[in-house]
Amino acid sequence: MAAVKDSYSGGCRCGAVTFAARRPALGANHCHCRSCRKMSGALAMTWATFPADAVSISGETKDDASSADVRWTRCASCGSLLFWRRLERDTIDVAFGAIDDPGDLVPSNHIWTSHRVARFTLDPELPEFPERGA
């Protein structure tokens, strides 16, 4: 992954929620898990991972829990899916499509490919992990 930028910003579709990540991303991946597919309505979700303390969020959000320690965060107004977080970790995943200018931030792998939709073609140059990843 080549992330030359040291900060990123973005927000939801309606503009009611904005965020700023004030440090470089730790990585990015394409996730094929059932939860990402169901929560987004897409074949896969692409996430950029940041240190949680580097991300500031403005605006009213709504959290959904898919388990005791996982939160999905949406804009309370338009419903855009913006963040995913496992509470025991000190990171937050930002929906790649919500980033205004991802610059050179490029996903480096596919995770949870054991859940992928069979007809969804993967980039053959990226490593695949049947579960979480490396």
- b/e string for 17-50 if b means 16 or more Cβ within 10 A? bbbebeebbebbbbbbbebbbebbeeebbbbbbb
- Give domain 8-129's CATH superfamily: glutathione-dependent formaldehyde- activating enzyme (gfa) (3.90.1590.10)
CA-angle at 127, arms to 126 and 130, nearest 5°: 130
Q: What is the pLDDT of residue 118?
A: 74
What pLDDT score was predicted for residue 123?
74
Domain-wise residue ranges, the chain: 8-129
pTM: 0.84
3 state DSSP class of 54:
helix
Predicted pLDDT at 127: 63
User: How high is the pLDDT of residue 2?
Assistant: 44
Question: What is the pLDDT, as a whole number, of residue 119?
Answer: 76
What per-residue confidence (pLDDT) applies to 134?
Answer: 53
pLDDT for the residue 3: 43
Place of tokens 């490919």: 113
Each residue's pLDDT, cut to its tens digit, for the chain (134 residues) gives 444 678 999 999 999 999 999 998 999 999 888 888 889 988 889 999 999 999 999 999 999 988 888 999 999 999 999 999 999 999 999 999 999 998 888 888 787 777 777 777 777 777 676 677 65
> CA-to-CA distance for 35 and 69, rounded, in angstroms?
14
Under DSSP, the state recorded for 43 is S
What distance in Å separates the CA atoms of residue 48 and residue 64, rounded to the nearest whole number? Answer: 19
